[in-house]
Structure 1
Amino acid sequence: MTRWIDNAVFWHLYPLGFVGAAQHAETGLRHRLAHIVDWLDYAVALGASGLLLGPIFASSTHGYDTIDHFRIDPRLGDGGDFDQLITEAQRCGLRVVLDGVFNHVGRDFPLLRAALESGPTSVEAGWFRWLGGADSAGEPDYATFEGHHALVALNHESPDVIAYVTRVMNHWLDRGASGWRLDAAYAVPRPFWKTVLSDVRRNHPDAYIFGEVIHGDYKGIVADTGVDAVTQYELWKAIWSAINDGNLFELQWALDRHNGFLEHFQPLTFVGNHDVTRLASRLTDERHLAHALALLLTIGGTPTIYAGDEQAFRGIKENRAGGDDAVRPAFPSTPEGLAPFGWSTYRLHQQLIGLRRRHPWLFKARSRKIHLTKREAVWAMEADDNSLLVALNLSDGDAILSAPGGGDVLAGAAEVRTTFPGRATSVRLPSHGWAVLAASRRN
């Protein structure tokens, strides 16, 4: 496991949406990556230490139907624009992690076009998986990503595909990227990743590489593939669902599972991304946004903030063509163009990210239940000899909760009750309140 990642907090961007690019490939070149450069100081002020970028390589539409993994999407710019982004990010102390779409390619991928013209026995056809039939137009059937005809699955047993993906990953790491998100990693055979990543790590031992995994054997996938981590969708769902339903027992189940994962790897944690409904839209009570954020930034793992969530952006993901548009909007040219309503949420993010940065051991913290009912909870977040207490109240009345060893209120609002100087026995939270408290290790 690479060490720089231990204290990382990522600001996650979907570049094509962020810069307001056209939804389909354009003629000509647009140098829009410079738009992201204009937001780097904003990311640093937020507290981020890295940028997690969505797809930036040449594609036909949304970036996940790649045409050329060695070329920046002309809607975003060219190689010079990428190099400038890396240079400016490094100047700001920000690492850049890229999105690698290696499970499938787009219909306009040149080798697919050649294979369709030459037939499934051609050399080019070996890059893909053919199903033996033909579609209604007489075109040979090929394997796809989850039934999407425009997303053509690669043949991951092909030595040519293995070599190609390895070259792509090494190329952009050589150009200054610090790591990769592996899109749809769960759909790719594990031995493929093991082979590719072994080679990549020989050249770039400090690269951070994580896989998109929605459900399944998180621990097994990490062990079998060589990725550093996977996306923690179990925890994402439990945070908003437990808060909305007033059922913190659901969250406790997920936290217990999360503790188990932390014994083996450091999951990538989040409460929003480019594929899901915005947190501010998902929560039924806007007062609870702070509760979700307090959890994200005190739980072990590598937290990511999806761009716009720190401004309480709203957006609902819909299961239809174009259904992601609401959660992938264009941003103004500079932060000064943001609406005024979101800055209080930005400051809350700054406060809690700052708290995490001041307690760098939190990346490996396990949660320990101290008090739990459906709507009230206190957890100790612990690692080595360090501890913080996180207290939540989802009820309509004040709550007095057990908080042994608690000290000063570091974030949120609470009345700490003590029997000894500086040693809490309980904490009083207001209706729908929350707090993070300093604490001594187990008591």
Structure 2
Amino acid sequence: MFAPAWVKDAIFYQIFPDRFCRSERYHAVGKFVEWGSKPTRENMFGGNLAGIEDKLEYIAGLGVNAIYLCPIFKSNSNHRYHTVDYFEIDPVLGTMEDFDRLVKKAHKLKLRVILDGVFNHCSRGFFQFNSLMELGQNSPYVDWFHVKGWPLNAYTDKPNYECWWNFPALPKFNTNCPDVREYLFSVGEFWMRRGIDGWRLDVPNEINDDSFWQEFRRRVKKVNPDAYIVGEIWDAPERWLQGDQFDGVMNYVFRKAVMQYLFDENSISTEEFCKRLREAFPEGRGDMPMNLLGSHDTTRLKSQPCASWERIRLALTLMFFMPGAPCIYYGEELGMKGGKDPDNRRSVPWSKLPEMQRELVYGLVKELTELRNKNAVLRDGKLEIVCDGDSFSVVRTLGRKKMTLAVSFTEDQPTFEIK
């Protein structure tokens, strides 16, 4: 096993900072929409680090022990995947002191913290790219990006430089440039020294260079050998899981199988579903995946086609029964709804918390975190998937201890028991 030992015991909680909580303890300069407004791709709600800090006891109370924060660096977008400065906290979110206090309090509550690293691309406001816009070919940073013509067409639908999915607001780094590599590696080191416990890497497959991620791993692990490095990989992940790049990936292979089987009118058979589960958790690979059902990129469980309490209950139980670290998308435990981006990024209605905690899903998440935290077999046990017609079982075995999730369907709704 090349992944850090703590990850097998981890239960992550993913936070989208702009929409999680806005504390009055920090006042950002600017104008923000009213909390609870309809989310758009552009509007800013003003969630902040102080708000996250205020809710750490709530998060720990769920039975969670790790937090994954979507980007928190200086940016001019509500999601902050357009980075302006990788060494500064976004002023809407707070200050470096706020960040330090958040990490310190999280660690005191035994909550680890990993940050989102967006190293494939930056924003037009990134200083070095702005230099190209101002100085053209005379910029000292001319080699930092993939420029195809001058002057830069930075505000048209036909950019003449490489960018993420051809969005001109997201210029792609030239990671073959030694200065770029050193800059990005130093970002990884800087925040590790600041006390974080690892990195979630955004679209790392688009930096199509194993040596980049191998060096990133060496530099990060030199600061903290127990750092968790997890990549956002949507397809077969084997290339990045040889022990020299990532410790795991966001397990979209698992998520896709669950969505197709439970929420897409059973578009795949039970036999095919079991096959997909085995593929998502191959024996002996040595990694530790982050298992998820929802994220800032996906429709929420309650807004899925064919969503029902029985299907949601089974989906969540499956996630907690699997090897790796379960990850709960913020508000999922409260039964929040949300369609495709940006609707899946609604603000948490904290004023309705007591009412939402009475939702069935909140009690279920608490039961599942307790079940996993109390049973080492769910964290360390060997996995076996047994298929029998339209029924199947997930079996975890550790020494003489065995736990089984037995699943069948009754009148097109799943039923299950844990034995």
> If the TM-score is normalised by the length of the shorter chain, which range does it land in?
0.7 to 0.9
Question: In the alignment, is the contact (CA less than 8 A) between 1:99 and 1:181 conserved in 2?
Answer: yes
Q: Distance in 1 between matches of 2:250 and 2:285?
A: 16
Q: Distance in 2 between matches of 1:154 and 1:53?
A: 23
Distance 1:338 1:58, change over 3 A: farther
Alignment partner for residue 107 of structure 1, among 104, 117, 124?
124
Question: In the alignment, is the contact (CA less than 8 A) between 1:15 and 1:56 conserved in 2?
Answer: yes
Distance 1:174 1:135, change over 3 A: closer
Q: Distance in 2 between matches of 1:356 and 1:313?
A: 23
Residue 256 of structure 2 corresponds to residue 266 of structure 1: no
Q: How do residues 57-72 of structure 1 correspond to structure 2 at under 5 angstroms?
A: 57-61=73-77, 62-72=79-89
Alignment deviations for residues 201-249 of structure 1 (CA, whole Å, 9 cap, x no partner) = 1121111111111113x12112275211111111101012112333322
Question: In the alignment, is the contact (CA less than 8 A) between 1:243 and 1:394 conserved in 2?
Answer: no
Greater gyration radius: 1
Aligned to 1:386: 401
Q: What's the CA shift for 1:31? A: 8.3
Q: Distance in 1 between matches of 2:42 and 2:94?
A: 15
Q: What's the CA shift for 1:385? A: 4.3
The residue matched to 1:433 in structure 2 has which SS?
strand
Q: Whose strand proportion is higher, 1 or 2?
A: 1
Unaligned runs of 5+ in 1: 318-323, 398-430, 438-443
Q: How do residues 15-164 of structure 1 correspond to structure 2 at under 5 angstroms?
A: 15-19=17-21, 32-61=48-77, 62-120=79-137, 122-132=139-149, 135=153, 141-164=160-183
The residue matched to 1:392 in structure 2 has which SS?
strand
Alignment deviations for residues 271-319 of structure 1 (CA, whole Å, 9 cap, x no partner) = 11111000121151412111101100011111101111111111111xx
Q: How do residues 6-405 of structure 1 correspond to structure 2 at under 5 angstroms?
A: 6-19=8-21, 32-61=48-77, 62-120=79-137, 122-132=139-149, 135=153, 141-188=160-207, 189-216=209-236, 218-223=237-242, 226-244=245-263, 245-246=265-266, 247-260=269-282, 263-286=285-308, 287-317=310-340, 324-333=341-350, 337=353, 339-340=355-356, 343-374=359-390, 376-396=391-411
Residue range with higher mean Cα deviation, 111-120 or 258-267: 258-267
Question: In the alignment, is the contact (CA less than 8 A) between 1:255 and 1:367 conserved in 2?
Answer: no
Residue 6 of structure 2 corresponds to residue 4 of structure 1: yes
Residue range with higher mean Cα deviation, 203-212 or 63-72: 203-212
The residue matched to 1:48 in structure 2 has which SS?
coil
Residue range with higher mean Cα deviation, 16-25 or 167-176: 16-25
Q: What's the CA shift for 1:103? A: 0.6
Q: Distance in 2 between matches of 1:262 and 1:108?
A: 44
Distance 1:92 1:222, change over 3 A: same
Q: What's the CA shift for 1:24? A: 5.8
Q: How many equivalent pairs are there?
A: 392
Aligned to 2:415: 433
Q: What is the one-letter code of the residue matched to 1:201? A: K
Q: What's the CA shift for 1:383? A: 4.1
Residue range with higher mean Cα deviation, 279-288 or 325-334: 325-334
Q: Distance in 2 between matches of 1:117 and 1:143?
A: 18
Question: In the alignment, is the contact (CA less than 8 A) between 2:117 and 2:200 conserved in 1?
Answer: yes
Distance 1:346 1:435, change over 3 A: same
Residue range with higher mean Cα deviation, 258-267 or 170-179: 258-267
The residue matched to 1:107 in structure 2 has which SS?
coil
TM-score when normalising by structure 1: 0.82
Larger RCO (alpha carbons 8 Å, 6+ apart): 2
Q: Distance in 1 between matches of 2:321 and 2:159?
A: 51
The residue matched to 1:119 in structure 2 has which SS?
helix
Q: Distance in 2 between matches of 1:130 and 1:136?
A: 11
Unaligned runs of 5+ in 2: 23-31, 34-40
Question: In the alignment, is the contact (CA less than 8 A) between 1:240 and 1:283 conserved in 2?
Answer: no
Distance 1:341 1:195, change over 3 A: closer
Q: What's the CA shift for 1:348? A: 0.4
Q: Distance in 2 between matches of 1:238 and 1:119?
A: 48
State the percentage of identical aligned residues. Answer: 29
Distance 1:118 1:384, change over 3 A: farther
Q: What's the CA shift for 1:158? A: 1.2
Alignment deviations for residues 108-160 of structure 1 (CA, whole Å, 9 cap, x no partner) = 11110102222246321211112347649899721111221111100111111
TM-score when normalising by structure 2: 0.87
The residue matched to 2:222 in structure 1 has which SS?
helix
The residue matched to 1:152 in structure 2 has which SS?
coil
Q: Distance in 1 between matches of 2:120 and 2:274?
A: 34
**Alignment RMSD, CA only?**
2.4
Q: What's the CA shift for 1:391? A: 1.2
Distance 1:295 1:333, change over 3 A: closer
Q: What's the CA shift for 1:340? A: 3.2
The residue matched to 2:364 in structure 1 has which SS?
helix
